[in-house]
């Protein structure tokens, strides 16, 4: 506390610099600190030691491979890191004990991400904010029920297009990112490329070069995204609230995209289709190994995974903590608590990732204003796998009364899986076997549907005909994937 006062910080969390901890919505006056201390130490201590041992081995191995160059950069302030872990445990504990008010859980882009130290990340984020606000007040784009009318500079006529808020989570492959933005860009849209705080300098430079080509494409740098967690959902929620409530940008639809997607339609087709659409959400049900999911999926919320985000700590996370470990010392069965019992009534389905989806302005507003929906994301924040994003966004839609539309109508995204149940890179190699899990749009499934890469183009044409707007994943490092992209431009655009 004394050090924090000397540095002029008024918030312990701001001082700590965590990208994940949020205790502002929890009442800590009810915490039994003795009980918390015993519970938290029992839950994380062995995992903490396991992490330090694993990290030191990785550092030693890297130093040996690079003769000390890269390994010497792997430095952790273990005291501050442990402080962050303890605060993460405190947030989990407060959730389990029912001390948190989810109407106050309002994740947004933190104010600490903006400052005016010239040339800093915060300065550039401030410039991005100014650019977006200036676009929202541009008289060239009038709005009616948040519908943008694009006035053509080369014609006296006007065409009706939706105005889109597009957020692209990018972490690699700037070459394909350039293709994606070129394919979806229209001047009335807001296009935000999110990169995390620890983005490699070369990649960041490439991304900023791409954004500089357009007046309405900005780069927003904040937060930490870690695989095997649901951190990307948290980042998208932060940007959603920031653009919708903080900046109050007028738009029709909010698109969450990854950097590896590509549209099956032209930018004009996309904007016109959404202008004419009455859809409130594009998610689309998918099967799990060919079987429909219809039972409680709250088990995906039960294991916990903590991660280090303070300062420039290397992006690492603790091994998952099992429910049985977290149960010890709690005093009651947390799985039978009202928190999980109520969620089992809505978290019963599986769809395409909510981070590869489309939401109307109305749906975004309702989502961010629903304490029950935000509870799901509050609990998902420390989830231990990325599979949660295929279950928590649809659960939120069920709470909003959009279950049938989210499940039964077609998705916005066409995607396939490989043999290891990972998202496959799309290409037309006949020796590759893809797995289709799509169950939306009235498609009835009984078992998996497998087909070869040679058939992929015909499936993409069918997907476009059904109304799907995007496909994933593409990679500029894969010649077959880039050949497919050119075929899409030639045959579908």
Q: What is the sign, positive or negative, of the torsion defined by CA atoms of 203, 204, 209, 210?
A: positive
Look up the pTM and report it: 0.91
Note the residue count of the chain: 493
pLDDT tens figures, 463-476: 999 999 999 999 99
Give the rounded percent of residues in the chain with a pLDDT score beyond 90.
59
Q: What is residue 1's predicted lDDT score, i.e. its pLDDT?
A: 45
Q: What is residue 385's predicted lDDT score, i.e. its pLDDT?
A: 74
Beta-sheet pairing, 253-258 with 164-169: parallel
- 147-151, 322-326, 391-395: the lowest-pLDDT one: 147-151
Beta carbons of 429 and 480 less than 8 angstroms apart: yes
Q: What is residue 105's predicted lDDT score, i.e. its pLDDT?
A: 95
Please list, in sequence order, all residues whose beta carbon lies within 8 angstroms of the beta carbon of residue 302, skipping any fewer than 6 positions away.
323, 326, 335, 340
pLDDT band at 68 (very low <50, low <70, confident <90, very high): low
Does the structure show a pLDDT above 90 at 238?
A: yes
Q: What is d(CA 257, CA 134) in angstroms, rounded to the nearest whole number?
A: 23
Task: Kindly state the tokens that stand for 139.
Answer: 């008289």
Q: Please state the separation of Cα 434 from the chain's center in Å.
A: 25
Half-sphere exposure of 479 (CA within 13 A, CB side): 1
Q: What is residue 453's predicted lDDT score, i.e. its pLDDT?
A: 93
What CA–CA distances, in Å, run from 48 to 42, 43, 56, 307, 316? 11, 10, 12, 10, 11
Alpha-carbon radius of gyration of the chain: 23
- Count of C-beta atoms within a 10 Å radius of residue 266: 15
Give the rounded percent of residues in the chain with a pLDDT score beyond 70.
85
Q: What is d(CA 78, CA 266) in angstroms, rounded to the nearest whole number?
A: 50
Quick check: bond before 196 cis, omega within 30? no
Does the structure show a pLDDT above 60 at 155?
A: no
Q: What is residue 139's predicted lDDT score, i.e. its pLDDT?
A: 59
Report, as an integer, the average pLDDT of 66-75. 55
Q: What is d(CA 103, CA 24) in angstroms, rounded to the nearest whole number?
A: 11
User: Most distant CA pair in the chain: distance in Å?
Assistant: 73
Please list, in sequence order, all residues whose beta carbon lies within 8 angstroms of the beta carbon of residue 69, skipping any fewer than 6 positions away.
none
What CA–CA distances, in Å, run from 353 to 141, 150, 336, 422, 431? 31, 31, 27, 13, 27
Beta-sheet pairing, 253-258 with 357-360: antiparallel
Q: What is residue 171's predicted lDDT score, i.e. its pLDDT?
A: 94
Beta-sheet pairing, 164-169 with 190-195: parallel
Q: Which residue has the higher pLDDT, 303 or 156?
A: 303
Q: Mean pLDDT score of the chain, rounded to an integer?
A: 86
Q: What is d(CA 171, CA 93) in angstroms, rounded to the nearest whole number?
A: 32
């Amino acid at each position: 506390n004394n050090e924090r006062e000397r540095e002029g910080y008024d918030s312990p969390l701001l001082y700590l610099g965590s990208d994940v901890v949020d205790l502002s919505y929890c009442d800590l006056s009810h915490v039994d600190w003795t009980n918390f201390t015993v519970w938290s130490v029992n839950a994380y201590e062995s995992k903490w030691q396991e992490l330090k041992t694993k990290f030191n081995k990785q550092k030693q191995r890297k130093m040996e491979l690079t003769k000390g160059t890269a390994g010497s950069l792997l430095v952790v302030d273990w005291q501050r890191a442990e402080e962050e872990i303890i605060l993460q445990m405190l947030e989990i504990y407060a959730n389990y004990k029912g001390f948190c008010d989810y109407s106050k859980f309002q994740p947004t882009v933190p104010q600490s991400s903006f400052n005016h130290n010239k040339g800093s990340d915060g300065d550039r984020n401030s410039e991005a904010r100014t650019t977006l606000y200036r676009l929202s007040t541009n008289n060239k784009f009038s709005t009616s029920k948040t519908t943008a009318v694009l006035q053509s500079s080369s014609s006296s006529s006007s065409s009706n297009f939706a105005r889109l808020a597009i957020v692209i989570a990018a972490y690699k492959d700037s070459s394909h990112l350039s293709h994606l933005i070129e394919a979806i860009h229209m001047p009335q849209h807001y296009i935000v490329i999110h990169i995390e705080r620890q983005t490699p300098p070369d990649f960041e430079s490439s991304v900023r070069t791409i954004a500089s080509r357009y007046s309405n494409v900005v780069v927003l740098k904040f937060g930490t995204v870690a695989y095997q967690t649901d951190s990307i959902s948290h980042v998208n929620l932060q940007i959603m609230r920031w653009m919708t409530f903080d900046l109050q940008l007028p738009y029709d639809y909010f698109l969450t995209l990854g950097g590896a997607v590509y549209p099956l339609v032209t930018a004009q087709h996309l904007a016109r289709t959404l202008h004419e659409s009455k859809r409130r959400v594009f998610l689309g049900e998918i099967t799990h190994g060919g079987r429909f999911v219809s039972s409680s999926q709250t088990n995906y919320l039960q294991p916990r995974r903590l991660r280090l985000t303070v300062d420039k700590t290397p992006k690492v996370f603790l091994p998952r903590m099992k429910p049985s470990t977290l149960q010890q010392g709690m005093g009651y069965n947390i799985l039978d608590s009202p928190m999980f019992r109520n969620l089992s009534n809505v978290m019963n389905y599986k769809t395409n990732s909510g981070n590869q989806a489309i939401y109307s302005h109305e749906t975004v507003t309702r989502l961010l204003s629903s304490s029950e929906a935000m509870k799901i994301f509050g609990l998902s924040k420390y989830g231990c796998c990325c599979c949660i994003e295929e279950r928590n966004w649809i659960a939120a839609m069920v709470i909003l009364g959009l279950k049938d539309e989210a499940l039964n109508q077609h998705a916005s995204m066409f995607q396939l899986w490989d043999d290891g149940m990972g998202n496959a890179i799309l290409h037309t190699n006949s020796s590759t076997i893809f797995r289709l899990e799509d169950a939306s749009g009235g498609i009835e499934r009984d078992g998996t549907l497998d087909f070869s890469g040679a058939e992929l183009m015909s499936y993409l044409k069918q997907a476009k005909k059904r109304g799907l707007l995007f496909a994933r994943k593409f990679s500029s490092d894969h010649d077959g994937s880039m050949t497919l992209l050119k075929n899409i431009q030639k045959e579908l655009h």
